[in-house]
Amino acid sequence: MQVHDPTTSKQADDELGVREEPLDAANQSLADALRASFRILKGIMLLLVLLYLVSNVRRIESHEQALLLRLGDLAPGVHEAGLVWAFPFPIDEIVPLPTMKSNDLTVDSHTFKRRPEEIGKPLSFISPRSGGLHPIRDGALLASDGGLVHVRWKVTYKIDDVRSYVSNIVSDKLEAAEDLIQTMVETIGIHVASEMTAEEIIRTRVDRVQSQMIRRVNARLAELNSGLSVKRIEMFEPTPPLAVRDAFDNTQRAENLKQKKIRDAEQARTKTLNEAAGAAYTRLISLLDEIERLERADTETSSAAARQRLESARAELSRTLEHDVEGQAGRMIKDAGSYLSVVVGQMQGDVEEYRTLLPEYRRNPAMLIGRLWEETREEILNYSGVTKIFRPPGVEIRIKIPFDPRQAKTTERERLAEQEFDPSKLRPKRYVPVGWEHE
């Protein structure tokens, strides 16, 4: 549609000498409306141009960093949190990525497929599969001993270098990072499992499995210069195939019982050794092992230094027994030392008594023997454990000796009282003869 411009027509008419008549009111109103419409249209177009110019302004959150792609190429610099302006698309493109927070990824490729009603339930509530494992639906790891292990992985990763990630992974989304890490976990998990037994993967070396996974996955990500790093890989719900889980658990219970008995035995051993020798028992065991090792060597062919070490170890053992040992052994050693002192003192007293009585015996043997016998008989008759019976001369007495409960009680009380060691009351159980013939 052609629009009539009154100004242009008027100029043309003036040049041609034509004089235009004034417009009537209706035409004048139409001309004014058209002029206002053109002004509004120009304003709208100007506003649209301004909106287009600011259409690529984006707010970057505190946990994000952003890169700028200009005509498809990566522009220098990394934009931190705040407002970022760029030329409108398709000239510039802002790529924000969550680099300031960790992201979680669950990998279920190495476990069995759960039924809908089994999702979220503990393993103990999941019944074994009839017909075994399905090679397409169910996953597992093959251990070094030939056992199968079901494992779920929970991976925590982070973008450390946003430029490397965008340049080498060629993606502005996290899906590419998750696909890459999942592939690595699946592949590296197979290699790690092949180096350990099923028992080690499930129970005894869980920490080593996780540390190996973290180390190897990060090494591979660094080789690719991906800008990604794995902060934690947690292995949860490791289990053997459901069909053999009960047998595996029974074996583990037996192993746990065995380990408990071993710990109990070690605790009892430590308690017994502490009671026997106190804190010095470790030193005693070390010295005894060293002496045994040195004695097994041929002393004739061994060097003088080896023989010197043997003598030194024996001397150290004696010193430790004498000064450092506590507990029952320490008390026995101290009691033996006290007993030795008592025996030596008694023997020295016997020697002195013998030397005192010898001149009297040489002067009058019968009188000395009679006096000693009287003293011995008096000592015997005064002993509390001897029952005395008087027999008049010429009278025959037949004695029937029954069991005396009172004497038994007395004897038992004396026995219990003597359990507390008193070196001053000790007497040698074996008589050691002393005399000139034994000097």
- Residues 331 and 302 sit within 8 Å (Cβ to Cβ): no
Q: pLDDT tens across 109-140, in order?
A: 888 887 777 777 777 667 677 667 777 788 88
**How many CA atoms are closer than 13 Å to the CA of 220, on its beta-carbon side?**
16
* pLDDT above 60 (res 10): no
Mean pLDDT of 48-54: 70
Angle between helices 245-277 and 281-296 (to 10 degrees): 90
Helix, strand, or coil (residue 228): strand
Cα 153 from Cα 236, distance rounded (Å): 6
Work out the percent of the chain whose per-residue pLDDT is above 70. 73
Lowest mean pLDDT among 85-99, 285-299, 325-339: 85-99
- Residues 110 and 186 sit within 8 Å (Cβ to Cβ): yes
Quote the tokens at residue 261. Answer: 């008995």
Q: pLDDT tens across 349-395, in order?
A: 889 988 988 888 888 888 888 888 888 888 887 877 677 777 778 77
Mean pLDDT of 41-45: 82
* pLDDT above 50 (res 101): yes
Cα 224 from Cα 180, distance rounded (Å): 11
Cα 439 from Cα 433, distance rounded (Å): 10
Mean pLDDT of 295-319: 77
Cα 376 from Cα 394, distance rounded (Å): 26
Backbone φ and ψ of 106, nearest 5°: -105, 130
Q: Which residue has the higher pLDDT, 247 or 82?
A: 247
Q: pLDDT tens across 248-279, in order?
A: 778 778 888 898 999 999 999 888 888 888 88
Work out the percent of the chain whose per-residue pLDDT is above 90. 10
Q: What is the pLDDT of residue 153?
A: 92
DSSP string, 309-347: HHHHHHHHHHHHHHHT--HHHHHHHHHHHHHHHHHHHHH
Residue 213: Cβ within 10 Å count: 24
Question: Across the strands, what pairs with 66?
Answer: 79, 96
Helix, strand, or coil (residue 353): helix
Q: What is the pLDDT of residue 436?
A: 40
Cα 439 from Cα 434, distance rounded (Å): 7
Q: Which residue has the higher pLDDT, 337 or 211?
A: 211
Q: Which residue has the higher pLDDT, 290 or 429?
A: 290
Lowest mean pLDDT among 30-44, 234-248, 395-409: 395-409
Q: What is the pLDDT of residue 252?
A: 77
Could you give the residue ranges of the DSSP H alpha helices within 229-326? 245-277, 281-296, 304-323
Q: pLDDT tens across 58-74, in order?
A: 666 666 667 666 666 66
Q: What is the pLDDT of residue 437?
A: 41
- Residues 110 and 139 sit within 8 Å (Cβ to Cβ): yes
Q: What is the pLDDT of residue 29?
A: 75
Mean pLDDT of 151-168: 83
- Residues 221 and 178 sit within 8 Å (Cβ to Cβ): no
Q: How wide is the angle at C-alpha 164 spanned by C-alphas 162 and 169, nearest 5°?
A: 100
Q: What is the pLDDT of residue 184?
A: 92
Q: pLDDT tens across 308-361, in order?
A: 888 888 888 888 887 888 888 888 888 888 888 888 888 998 899 889 888 888
Estimate to the nearest angstrom the gap between the alpha carbon of 394 and the chain centroid: 92
Q: What is the pLDDT of residue 2?
A: 45
Q: What is the pLDDT of residue 214?
A: 93
Most confident of 47-61, 208-222, 293-307, 340-354: 208-222
Most confident of 23-27, 116-120, 230-234: 230-234
Backbone φ and ψ of 90, nearest 5°: -95, 15
Domains and CATH numbers, the chain: 6-53 (no CATH), 57-97 (no CATH), 103-123+136-240 (3.30.479.30), 253-325 (no CATH), 347-383+415-438 (no CATH)
* pLDDT above 80 (res 157): yes
Mean pLDDT of the chain: 77
Q: What is the pLDDT of residue 297?
A: 73
Q: Which helix (H) or strand (E) holds 150?
A: strand 148-159
Cα 439 from Cα 225, distance rounded (Å): 97
The radius of gyration of the chain from alpha carbons, rounded to an integer in Å, stands at: 53
